[in-house]
Structure 1
Amino acid sequence: MIKGFTRFLQSPSEHFRSLFGPQEAAAGPPTPRVIHRDEHPISRSQFSDAALKVLYRLHNSGYDAFLVGGCLRDSLLGMTPKDFDVATNATPEQVKQLFRNSRIIGRRFRIVHVRFGREVIEVTTFRGKPSDDHADHIAAQSDAGLLLRDNVWGNIEEDALRRDFTINALYYSIADFSIHDFAGGLDDIESRTLRLIGDPATRYREDPVRMLRAIRFAAKLDFNLAPATEAPIHDLAPLLLQIPPARLFDELLKLFLSGDGLATYRLLREYGLFAMLFPEADECIDELPWFESLIEQALTSTDQRIRDDRPVTPAFLLAAFMWGPVQRRQADIEADGMPSVPALQAAAQQVISRELKHVSIPKRFSMPMRDIWDLQQRLPQRRGKRAFQTREHPRFRAAYDFLLLREAAGELEPGLGDWWTAFQQADDHEQRRLLGKVGVDPASSPGPRKRRRRRRKPRSDSSTPPSSE
C-alpha cells in the first residue's frame, strides 16, 4: 500500500478525516466521496487479467463498469484480493451478449457469471429500491420481510445503499481509476468496524443470511460489529430457519473453510447462530464435556491446513460437528439392547436425517463422514489381519486423524492413537512386534491369504477285497 494511505488506515489522523469526513451510513440519499487515483493505493496490477477484461469490454461498449466490494476492501487492508465482482448499468442480457463465455444464473437475484478457465467473474446490474417496479422486474417480499425476488434495476447510488455493509459499498471506476465511497466505508475500514447499511433489523429480515455474513466478516477481518449491527442478531437468529438448507450449506463452506473457522465458530456460538445451523450439536455441547474441545480442535486443524495450502474436506468438519449427537444417540440405542455396530449406524442415520432439515449435506460429503464414524469402531480391532485391512481403507487417514482429536479432547484415554502412529511408521519386524502387544501371533503374516490344498479321497479299487474283522 502507499505509505501515506497506510498511515491513514492505521491511526485516526486529521488528514484522513479532512479528506473523507464523517458520514452516517443510513442517513438520507448517499453523497459519494470520490477519491482520485493519486489519493489511494489501489492499482490495476492487483486485479486479475480476467477482471480487467470484463471491466474494459463493458467500458468500451458504452456501459459503466466498476469493481465493487470485497476485492477493494481487502486491498485497502493490505490483503491480497481473490474474488473480483463487477457492477454495471448493463442488464444481464446485455452482459451475456458481450461475453460468449458467460451465463445468467439465479432467480431470486439474477447475475451473470463470466468464466475464464477456472476463474469466474461475477457481474451484477445496479439494483434499485425493493419497492420499485421497473417494467417486468419486480421485487417481492414475504409477510415477514424476507426478500423473495430482487431484480429491480437502478443506478449506482441506489445500488450502493442496497449492499449489506459499508465496507462493501466501495466502487472502483475503470474509467478514471477513482474510488467512490457511498456509505462511509473508508471510515469504517479505518476504525475496523463492521456496520450494516440501513436499519439492521429490516436488513436482516430481508435476508437472514446477512447475520452469517456479519459473523464471517468480523472473524475474517478481525473487525468489531457496530452496536446497532449486532443488537438484533440474538432475537432474529431464528429467521435462519426460513432459509433453504441448500443455501445454508453453501454459506457453511464460506464460514468454516476460509481459514478463520475457529474464530467464526466462537462468534456463531456467542450470537446464538450455531444453534440454527446445528441444533442437536448445540444441545450436546453442554451435555458432553469433551465435545466442544473436539469441535475446536477440528477447526484449528482445518484452519492450519488452509494456511499451509493443504487440501481440506467439509466431511471431516461435519463429522466433528455431529459426533457428539451420534455418540449420545448410540448410547441410548445400545441401552435398549442393540449391539454396538448397528447402534452406531442407526444413530448416524437419525442425526443426519435431523440435520438435513437445517443444512443440506450432499452425499459426496455425508458418505465419507459416515466412513470416518464407522472406522472409529474398527480402529481398536487389531487382531489377525484386521490392522492391515483397516490401514488400507480409503478413509483410514481421516479416521486416524479423527481418533487423535478424540483423544486430545478427552473423550478417549490416550494410547490407541500412539499405537496407530507407530504402526504406520514401522517396518515389517516392528509391525509384528506391535501386533504381538495386542495378542496377535508375531509369526502371522500380513501377506496374501494362502489357498488351502484340497484333499482328495483315495480312489476305490474293486480288486481289493473288503477288510474283515
Structure 2
Amino acid sequence: MQESDPDTTGTTTPLVVPRPEHNISRAQISEHALKVLYRLRQENFQAHLVGGGVRDLLLGHEPKDFDIATDATPEQVRQVFRNCRLIGRRFRLAHVHFGRDIIEVATYRGSGDDADPADHRLENGMIVRDNIYGSIEEDARRRDFTINALYYNIADFSLIDYVDGLADLRAGKLRLIGDPEQRYREDPVRMLRAVRFACKLGFAIEPSTEQPLFRLGSLLGDIAAARLFDELIKLFHSGYALDVFEKLRHYGLFGQLFPETDACLALEDQGFPVMFVSRGLANTDRRLQEHKPVAPAFLFAILLWEPVRRATEQLQSEGMDVNEAILVASADVCHRQQSLVAIPKRYSLPMREIWALQPRLEQREGKRPYRLMTHPRFRAAYDFLLLRAEAGETDPELADWWTRFQEGSSQERASMTESGAKRRRPRRRRSKSKTPANEVAG
C-alpha cells in the first residue's frame, strides 16, 4: 500500500491500495459498467469507477448505481458510444444507455481557477455552471465528501484515495472536502446529502462539517424547487425516512423545506402531529424493507396534512361545508408549498384526492361505502385513515369499521350499512296532479 504525501510540485501522491489489499471484485460490478470502463480504456482514456458505488462495495453493500470518471470529454465519450446522450447544462454529463440501465460518465472536474465564465460561474458563492475539466486529483478535491472520492482503477484494479476517504470510511465519519461553509455555499443541497448519508450509513458527521448545518439552512431557498423535490424523494424513499425527518428537524432544515408543517409541529397537542408524521414515515420505511411499493403522493400527503387539516377546521368554523373546506385548504397549502418544493401534478393531484376522501370516509350509510370503494384512490385514503387513527387524530372505531367492511361478506356489509340507510330522510314525492303523464313519479 502506497501512502499519500505531498510532492515538490504541489500535487499529492495518493494512497494506492492494490487489488490484494481491498475487497472490491469485478464480479460485484455491473456488466454494463464494466463494458464502459473497458471500452474507454481500449480507446486510451483513463476510466475509474467512483463515488457511491465504490463506497458501497467497500462497505459490503449492493450499489444502486455505478458512476464512472474519465479524462475523456463528454463529446469524446459520445464518439466512443453510439448509445450515449449528453445531458445537463450546469454539469455536462454523458449517459450511456443499455436498455433501461444508464451508466453515468463524468469528465474529471478542474479547479475552476482562471476559468472562462462561460464554463464556470458562481452567483453569491453558489456554482451555477461548472464545465471545467482537469486531472483526477482535481476531480477528487472537487467532490463533496471524502468517502465519495474513492476511485477504482480498471487498469490495475487498485483503489486510489487523495483525501483520506478510506480512513474516514473505516472510522464511520462523514467529512466534507475543503472548507465546509464554502462547500455548502457552492451547493446548499450538500446539506441534505450530509443528512442522507449520515442516516443511510449510520455515520457520524464530523464536527466542522456539522456546525454549518445549524446556520446555513436558509440557503436552500436558492435551490430550484424541482431539484429539491428530487432530493426529498432520495431522502424519504430510501428506507430511513424517520431518521431523516428527525435529523432535518434537529438542524432546522425541515422548516426551510416545509415551513407550514414545521409551524404546526411547534403547536403539537398531546404528541400529535409529530406522532402522525412519525408513524407515517415509519410506515414508509417498513414498506420499503418489505419490498412493497411506496408512492410520492402518499409521502407528501403525510408531510403536508397538518397544515391542510388546520386550515380546513378554520374554514369550517367560518361556516364552510367540510368537503368544500378541505378542497380550498388543500389548494391554498399546495400553492404556497409549490414555490419551495415543486411537487409534479402526477403526485400532487392524487395527494389532494387522498385528503378529500377523508371526510367522505365518515359517511357509512346506504350505498355510499360501496361507491367509495370503487374510487381509484380509496385504498390510499383508507391507509391514510389508519395512520390518523393510530396517531389518535380520529376515532379508531371508524378505521376498524372500514377494515371490517372490506373484509365482510355481502350480508355483513348490508348489515353494517342498513341502520344508516334507515335513518336517511325519504325522498319527497311530487303530487300526482303535477306529474306529467310521460314522467315517472319519484
Correspondence for 2:252? 272
Q: Count the aligned residue pairs.
A: 422
Among candidates 119, 137, 140, match of residue 157 of structure 1: 137
Q: For residue 335 of structure 1, report the CA deviation from its aligned partner.
A: 2.2
Q: How far 1:367 moved relative to its partner?
A: 0.5
The aligned amino acid for 2:283 is S
Cα drift, residue 69 of structure 1: 0.7
Q: Which runs of 5+ in 2 are unaligned?
A: 424-434
CA distance change for structure 1 residues 294 and 23 in 2, over 3 Å: closer, same or farther?
farther
Distance in 1 (alpha carbons) for counterparts of 2:342 and 2:12: 39
- The answer (yes or no) to whether the contact 1:137–1:152 under 8 Å persists in 2 is no
Q: Which residue of 2 aligns with 1:196?
A: 176
Is 1:182 aligned to 2:162, yes or no?
yes
2:432 maps to none
Question: For residue 61 of structure 1, what is the amino acid of its counterpart?
Answer: E
Instruction: Compare 414-423 and 299-308 and name the one that shifted more.
Output: 299-308
Residues 1:352 and 2:348 are matched in the alignment: no
Question: What is residue 461 of structure 1 aligned with on the other side?
Answer: none
Closer, same or farther: CA 296–439 of 1 in aligned 2, 3 Å: same
Could you tell me how far 1:414 is from its partner in structure 2?
1.2
Match of 1:92 in 2: 74
Give CA-to-partner distance per residue, 1:359-411, whole Å, 9 cap, x none: 00000000000110011011011111100001111011100000000011111
CA contact (8 A) 1:46 1:81 kept: no
The equivalent of 1:169 in structure 2 is 149
d(CA) in 2 for partners of 1:138, 1:80 = 35
Any idea what SS the aligned residue of 2:234 has? helix
Q: Name the aligned partner's letter for residue 177 of structure 1.
A: F
Please state whether the residue corresponding to 2:307 is helix, strand or coil.
helix
Partner of 2:56: 74
Which structure has more RCO (C-alpha within 8 Å, separation ≥ 6)? 1
Candidates 211, 227, 238, aligned match of 2:207: 227
Deviation at 1:137, TM superposition (A): 5.9
Structure showing greater radius of gyration is 1
1:430 is displaced (CA, Å) by 1.2
After the TM superposition, list the runs of 4 or more consecutive aligned residues in structure 1 that deviate by more than 6 angstroms. 20-24
Partner deviation per Cα, 1:131-157 (whole Å, 9 max, x = no partner): 3426x8621101x20011100000000
Q: Identify unmatched segments of 5+ residues in structure 1.
A: 1-18, 443-454, 459-469
Summarize the alignment of residues 358-369 of structure 1 with structure 2, pairs less than 5 Å apart: 358-369=340-351
SS, match of residue 49 in structure 2: strand
Instruction: Decide whether the 8 Å contact of 1:22 with 1:187 is kept in 2.
Output: no
Q: Is the partner of 2:266 in helix, strand or coil? A: helix
The reply to whether residue 46 of structure 1 matches residue 28 of structure 2 is yes
What code does the residue aligned with 2:126 have? L
> Match for residue 139 of structure 1?
120
Q: Is the 8 A contact 1:305 1:312 kept in 2?
A: yes
Distance 1:434 1:199, change over 3 A: same
1:216 corresponds to: 196
Structure 1 residues 146, 95: CA separation in 2 closer, same or farther (over 3 Å shift)? same
Distance 1:153 1:278 in 2: 37
- Does the 8 A contact of 1:132 with 1:139 survive in 2? no
Corresponding position of 2:364: 382
User: Is 2:238 the counterpart of 1:258?
Assistant: yes
Matching of residue 439 in structure 1 with residue 420 in structure 2: yes
Looking at structure 2, the residues matched to 223 and 33 of structure 1 have their Cα atoms a distance apart, in angstroms, of: 22
What SS does the aligned partner of 1:403 have?
Answer: helix
Are the counterparts in 1 of residues 40 and 47 from structure 2 also a CA contact under 8 Å? yes
- The alpha-carbon deviation at position 20 of structure 1 amounts to 7.5
- Please tell me the residue identity of whatever aligns with 2:111: K
SS of aligned partner of 2:109: coil
CA RMSD after TM alignment: 1.9
Distance in 2, Cα, partners of 1:58 & 1:191: 34
Q: Which amino acid aligns with 1:131?
A: D
Corresponding residue for 2:428?
A: none
Matched, 1:241 2:212: no
Deviations 1:207-250 (A, max 9, x none): 00000000000000000000000011111110000001011011
Q: Sequence identity, in percent?
A: 53
Distance in 1, Cα, partners of 2:113 & 2:328: 49
CA–CA distance in 2 between the matches of 1:264 and 1:276?
A: 14
Give the whole-Å Cα distance in 2 for the aligned partners of 1:224 and 1:370. 38
- Structure 2 residue identity aligned to 1:162: R
CA distance in 2, matches of 1:357, 1:339: 28
Q: Report the 3-state secondary structure (helix = DSSP H, G, I; strand = E; otherwise coil) of the residue aligned with 1:440.
A: helix
Alpha carbons 1:30, 1:161 under 8 Å: kept: no
C-alpha separation between the residues in 1 aligned to 2:42 and 2:2? 30
* Alpha-carbon distance in structure 2 between the residues aligned to 1:21 and 1:428: 75
Distance in 2 separating the partners of 1:63 and 1:123: 12
| Contact 2:112–2:132 (8 Å) recurs in 1 | yes
Distance in structure 1 (CA, Å) of the matches to 2:173 and 2:336: 37
Distance 1:96 1:339, change over 3 A: same
